């Protein structure tokens, strides 16, 4: 399975793009049937969008707060509904526990109701497999190059060489197609190592080791914009920035959040772009469905950087075939106004006092743009 | 030659793959054939297999020899030097910093230089140096007794400052690649503009602006009322949302984003004659046309690109800030490629203050220009599929990837020139959320089985995300 070919399970699993679900189980409303009106009304009045129980977050550390979600079910919930946070022992999706249970051959019943355990292959596994296949393909290609050399040594003509090349190309193409068709094999449980015993508690279950870490902007979004985590926004902001603040200390967090919220609210799945040398990357729907298409750099509108900086980032993002977007965040009111609102804990005023504008930056090669 | 990307291939693989080709070596054998047979239709050669190291076979030697010979043949078959009879003398005039050609002739006259009403032919200084470097004109300076020939070194001494030198380097670079380049501040031609002369519709556009400002602020007020509610802690206690788009619309009200002109009317409303920023010396330096044979120097129409020059090492300048970029966007006047396809450019642009179509009919010879690729005689033309025939998702992705108003920033770093395309993007009015309501999966087990069965045939049905335009 590669990205873009989403299957039915993932459609079900990632059905909701946000951790607050819409009320979508209302009964059918039939105009000429008053009973259905009552049914509908009753159901409508009874249901609400709130979560049953808000997700608990721990914040550890003072100068660099770590915002952690530790409950296994809640970790998975945040990942499945909008792809928030990163598993500390995984690449992004918190899969350590299910990977370990497969590796050790332990049937963990706490994982049974989560589809992630077996039906879903972890992203880490996929990448590993892709690398393996690439290696195998290269070996195959080496073989055909050796054949060509053999032919040359024997003194074959150019026509013979071309025929051989054509044949080999066809064979390689077929090899690649077959590779893609192969499904991911079920992994055999590995042998237990000494240290693996520490991973299992007295009931034979895998202990809780991994937690999900949220970026500060994600935590703000889940507290301020959607009531999902159990820390109120004034408290969270104080924890992140300290009690009394200067404008300089909050400026970066505010602009970054403004950009984050802007893209989230238009339906993008926004994740950290640090792997591509930028602030955010934007996925349509989410990482299991498509590769990220855009790299976002959050910029202060009036602070230019050295050209080398732009060209560096553009090269890296261009190399990963992503579009590089400069997201300029402009402050519309004075710094004092922002600080005033900060003291009032009026974050809506703060965030809506900034405006975003975007510019696409792309290397242009004259020779490729002549007609 | 750019290659139209097939629709079924993801566009993400598109343009940067093109860029990578750039670094590969050229195949000379086809060009050698061209120079011998002089055939007009060039075929892009297919690349062979690449050999990475010497394998000590005769075959490899032979292939290498052939490739080398093709290159040398190409170079040696071409006759070099100039014939005295066809020499064109150009005289540098220190007073005006221009060059005068008493007997102008040659192809360069189609795209360069200009004739005064009295029939004298002048070259701008950068055109003069460019042509002298190529050997097309022979540079002289006139004294009272005799003509003194100038060397290339002499010409370089005559550059006034670093700015002019940068301008020349970028001009020459684009010219050598076949582009047609004119100075943006040169008004000696019949200039064409996308914008109507101010007398015609300034009143209307001012009213339009006022109206926009008013409705904009009203909309802002409405938004702020709504978002105060959505982001209050009580929102989800009283308000119910029955679909994800509703939730998103609530989230949407927080951050205002910049309005981007995308239509003819919007563009005309935001246009400013000059880059409006006192503390910047950035300006549009060049108008650039793609290579074409029917270019009419006297009334060239709208350019394909506009170029702004920036010297990275000049301590008094810096990479443009957002307001500077915006200033440049607002003063752009080129063939906005994002406007509707099949737009009649002659009917919607103005030359010398009148509609270009009227202007063209008033000319004796029909000065309508065509791109070489428009020529029906050219068989190698690949026609592009019209944008509207793509699915809405693809169209949306293209809008996001390509942006709207665009200019080229030419960066000069100690003689090394790079180009960057800067485009205005508008993520603020494109929504990409996936709505599960449209792909609703029913909960009863019977239906689930049914859907499961269906899904085997067409999984792609579920992967489509909904597109909504604000």
Across the interface, do A149 and B57 touch by the CB < 8 Å criterion?
Answer: yes
Across the interface, do B424 and A299 touch by the CB < 8 Å criterion?
Answer: no
In this structure, what CATH number is given to the domain that contains residue B130? 3.40.1170.20
What pLDDT does A195 receive? Answer: 79
Q: What is the distance between the alpha carbons of residues B326 and B400, in angstroms, rounded to a whole number?
A: 18
B251 → chain A, closest CA residue: A265
Q: What is the pLDDT of residues A148-175, one digit of tens each?
A: 888 888 877 778 888 888 888 888 888 8
The verdict on residue B23 lying in a domain is yes
Domain boundary among B77, B110, B129: B77
Across the interface, do A294 and B400 touch by the CB < 8 Å criterion?
Answer: yes
| B233 & B128 share domain | no
Find where tokens 């393909």 sit: A137
The verdict on residue B176 lying in a domain is no
The verdict on residue B205 lying in a domain is yes
The verdict on residue B52 lying in a domain is yes
Element (H, E) at B170: helix B162-176
Distance from CA of A21 to the nearest CA of B (A): 7
Task: Count how many domains chain B has.
Answer: 3
Across the interface, do A302 and B223 touch by the CB < 8 Å criterion?
Answer: no
| B144 & B218 share domain | no
Instruction: Give CATH for domain A222-361.
Output: 3.40.1350.10
For residue A187, pLDDT beyond 60 = no
A324 → chain B, closest CA residue: B401
Q: Which of chain B's residues have a Cβ under 8 Å away from the Cβ of A289?
A: 463
Is the pLDDT higher at B98 or at A203?
B98
A 122-141 residues inside an 8 A Cβ radius of B: none
pTM of the complete model: 0.79
The verdict on residue B164 lying in a domain is no
Taking only the tens of pLDDT, chain B with its 470 residues reads 333 333 333 333 344 444 444 444 555 555 555 555 544 444 445 566 677 788 888 888 888 888 888 778 777 776 666 677 778 899 999 999 999 999 888 888 888 988 888 888 999 999 999 999 988 899 999 888 888 999 999 999 999 999 999 999 999 999 999 999 999 887 777 778 888 776 444 455 556 666 666 666 666 665 666 677 788 777 777 777 878 888 888 888 888 888 888 888 888 877 776 555 555 678 899 999 999 888 888 888 889 999 999 999 988 888 999 989 998 998 888 888 888 666 777 777 888 777 787 778 777 554 444 444 444 444 444 566 777 778 888 888 988 999 999 999 999 999 999 999 999 999 988 888 876 545 444 443 433 343 333 333 333 333 334 344 33
| B41 & B117 share domain | no
Across the interface, do B403 and A15 touch by the CB < 8 Å criterion?
Answer: no
Mean pLDDT calculated for residue range A278-294: 91
Across the interface, do B423 and A359 touch by the CB < 8 Å criterion?
Answer: yes
| B397 & B294 share domain | yes
A159 → chain B, closest CA residue: B59
| B91 & B71 share domain | no
Facing residue for B258 by CB, picked from A153, A311, A357:
A357
List, by residue number, the catalytic residues of A.
283, 291, 322
Across the interface, do B439 and A11 touch by the CB < 8 Å criterion?
Answer: yes
Q: What is the pLDDT of residues A251-276, one digit of tens each?
A: 999 999 999 999 999 999 999 999 99
| B106 & B194 share domain | no
Q: Assess A18–B contact: CB distance below 8 Å, yes or no.
A: yes
Domain boundary among B77, B93, B121: B77
| B50 & B149 share domain | no
Q: Which of chain B's residues have a Cβ under 8 Å away from the Cβ of A20?
A: 236, 241, 247
The verdict on residue B179 lying in a domain is no
Q: Which of A14, A17, A80, A146 to mutate to test the interface with B (most CBs of B within 10 A)?
A: A17
What pLDDT does A119 receive? Answer: 47
The verdict on residue B1 lying in a domain is no
Provide, for chain A, the percentages of residues in helix, strand and coil under a 3-state DSSP scheme, each rounded to the nearest 5: 45, 15, 40
Q: What is the side-by-side strand order in the sheet with B284-289?
A: A268-272, A280-284, A294-300, A323-331, A354-364, B416-425, B406-413, B305-311, B284-289, B180-183
Across the interface, do B441 and A12 touch by the CB < 8 Å criterion?
Answer: yes
Facing residue for A265 by CB, picked from B255, B422, B462:
B255
| B105 & B229 share domain | no
What pLDDT does B304 receive? Answer: 92
A361 → chain B, closest CA residue: B422
Distance from CA of A178 to the nearest CA of B (A): 20
Q: Burial level of A371, CB count in 10 A (0-12/13-18/19+)?
A: middle
Q: Assess A312–B contact: CB distance below 8 Å, yes or no.
A: no
User: Domain range holding B46?
Assistant: 17-77
Q: Which of chain A's residues have a Cβ under 8 Å away from the Cβ of B26?
A: none
Q: Are B77 and B34 in contact (CB under 8 A)?
A: no
Q: Which of B13, B59, B410 to mutate to test the interface with A (most CBs of A within 10 A)?
A: B59
Question: Helices B244-252 & A247-265, crossing angle to 10 degrees?
Answer: 150
Q: What angle do CA A96, A102, A108 make, to 5 degrees?
A: 85
What pLDDT does B10 receive? Answer: 37
Question: Helices B244-252 & B198-230, crossing angle to 10 degrees?
Answer: 110
What pLDDT does A262 receive? Answer: 95
Mean pLDDT calculated for residue range A88-111: 78
Q: What angle do CA A85, A89, A95 make, to 5 degrees?
A: 75
A185-189, A287-291, B75-79, B351-355 — most confident range: A287-291
Backbone dihedral region for residue A299 (phi beyond 0: left; psi -120 to 50: alpha; all else: beta): beta
| B297 & B383 share domain | yes
A17 → chain B, closest CA residue: B434
| B106 & B72 share domain | no
What pLDDT does B461 receive? Answer: 37
The verdict on residue B448 lying in a domain is no
Q: Which of chain A's residues have a Cβ under 8 Å away from the Cβ of B1?
A: 370-371
Across the interface, do A266 and B441 touch by the CB < 8 Å criterion?
Answer: no
What pLDDT does B165 receive? Answer: 93
């Amino acid at each position: 399975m590669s990205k873009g070919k989403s299957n039915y399970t993932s459609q079900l699993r990632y059905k909701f793009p946000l951790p607050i679900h819409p009320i979508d189980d209302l009964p059918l409303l039939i105009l000429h049937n008053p009973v259905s009106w009552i049914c509908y009304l009753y159901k409508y009045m009874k249901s609400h969008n709130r979560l049953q129980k808000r997700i608990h977050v721990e914040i550890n550390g003072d100068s660099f707060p770590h915002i952690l979600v530790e409950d296994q079910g809640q970790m998975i919930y945040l990942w499945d509904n909008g792809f928030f946070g990163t598993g500390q022992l995984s690449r992004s999706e918190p899969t350590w526990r299910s990977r370990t249970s497969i590796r050790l051959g332990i049937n963990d019943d706490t994982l049974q109701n989560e589809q992630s355990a077996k039906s879903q292959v972890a992203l880490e596994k996929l990448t590993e497999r892709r690398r393996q296949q690439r290696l195998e393909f290269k070996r195959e290609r080496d073989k055909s190059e050796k054949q060509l050399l053999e032919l040359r040594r024997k003194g074959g003509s150019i026509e013979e060489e071309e025929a051989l090349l054509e044949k080999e190309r066809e064979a390689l193409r077929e090899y690649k197609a077959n590779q893609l068709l192969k499904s991911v094999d079920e992994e055999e449980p590995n042998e237990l190592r000494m240290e693996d015993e520490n991973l299992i508690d007295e009931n034979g279950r895998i202990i809780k080791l991994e937690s999900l870490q949220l970026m500060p902007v994600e935590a703000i979004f889940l507290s301020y914009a959607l009531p999902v985590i159990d820390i109120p926004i004034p408290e969270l902001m104080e924890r992140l920035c300290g009690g009394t603040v200067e404008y300089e200390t909050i400026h970066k967090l505010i602009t970054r959040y403004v950009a984050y919220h802007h893209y989230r609210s238009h339906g993008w799945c926004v994740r950290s772009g640090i792997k591509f040398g930028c602030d955010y990357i934007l996925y349509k729907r989410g990482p299991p469905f498509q590769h990220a298409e855009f790299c976002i750099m959050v910029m202060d509108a009036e602070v230019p950087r050295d050209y080398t900086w732009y060209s560096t980032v553009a090269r890296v993002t261009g190399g990963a075939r992503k579009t590089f977007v400069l997201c300029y965040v402009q402050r519309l009111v004075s710094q004092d106004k922002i600080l005033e609102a900060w003291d009032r804990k009026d974050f809506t005023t703060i965030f809506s006092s900034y405006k975003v504008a975007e510019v696409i930056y792309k290397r242009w090669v004259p020779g490729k743009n002549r007609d | 030659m750019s290659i139209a990307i097939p629709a079924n291939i993801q566009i993400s693989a598109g343009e940067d793959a093109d860029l990578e080709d750039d670094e590969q070596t050229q195949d000379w054998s086809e060009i050698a054939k061209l120079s011998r047979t002089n055939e007009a239709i060039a075929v892009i050669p297919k690349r062979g297999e690449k050999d990475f190291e010497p394998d000590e076979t005769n075959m490899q030697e032979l292939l290498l020899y052939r490739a080398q010979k093709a290159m040398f043949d190409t170079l040696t078959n071409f006759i070099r030097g100039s014939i005295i009879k066809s020499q064109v003398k150009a005289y540098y005039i220190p007073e005006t910093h221009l060059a005068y050609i008493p007997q102008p002739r040659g192809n360069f006259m189609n795209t360069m230089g200009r004739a005064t009403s009295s029939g004298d032919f002048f070259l701008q200084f950068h055109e003069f140096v460019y042509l002298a470097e190529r050997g097309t004109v022979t540079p002289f300076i006139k004294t009272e007794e005799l003509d003194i020939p100038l060397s290339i070194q002499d010409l370089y001494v005559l550059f006034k400052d670093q700015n002019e030198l940068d301008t020349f380097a970028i001009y020459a670079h684009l010219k050598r690649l076949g582009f047609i380049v004119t100075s943006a501040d040169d008004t000696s031609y019949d200039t064409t503009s996308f914008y109507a002369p101010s007398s015609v519709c300034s009143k209307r556009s001012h009213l339009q602006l006022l109206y926009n400002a008013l409705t904009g602020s009203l909309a802002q007020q409405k938004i702020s009322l709504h978002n105060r509610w959505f982001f209050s802690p009580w929102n989800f206690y009283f308000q119910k949302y029955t679909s994800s788009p509703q939730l998103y619309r609530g989230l949407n009200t927080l951050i205002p984003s910049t309005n981007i002109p995308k239509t003819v009317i919007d563009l005309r409303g935001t246009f400013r004659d000059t880059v409006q920023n006192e503390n910047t010396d950035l300006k549009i330096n060049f108008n650039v046309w793609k290579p074409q044979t029917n270019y009419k120097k006297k009334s060239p129409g709208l350019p394909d690109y506009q170029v702004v020059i920036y010297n990275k090492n000049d301590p008094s300048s810096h990479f443009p800030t957002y307001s500077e970029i915006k200033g440049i966007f607002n003063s752009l006047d080129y063939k906005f490629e994002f406007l509707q396809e099949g737009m009649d450019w002659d009917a919607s642009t103005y030359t010398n203050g009148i509609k270009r179509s009227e202007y063209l009919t008033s000319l004796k010879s029909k000065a309508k220009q065509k791109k070489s690729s428009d020529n029906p005689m050219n068989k190698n033309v690949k026609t592009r599929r019209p944008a509207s025939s793509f699915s809405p998702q693809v169209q949306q992705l293209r809008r996001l990837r390509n942006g709207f108003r665009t200019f080229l920033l030419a960066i000069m770093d100690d003689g090394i020139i790079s180009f960057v395309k800067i485009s205005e993007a508008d993520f603020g009015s494109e929504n990409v959320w996936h709505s599960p309501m449209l792909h609703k999966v029913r909960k009863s087990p019977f239906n689930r089985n049914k859907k499961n069965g269906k899904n085997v045939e067409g999984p792609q049905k579920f992967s489509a995300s909904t597109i909504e335009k604000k």
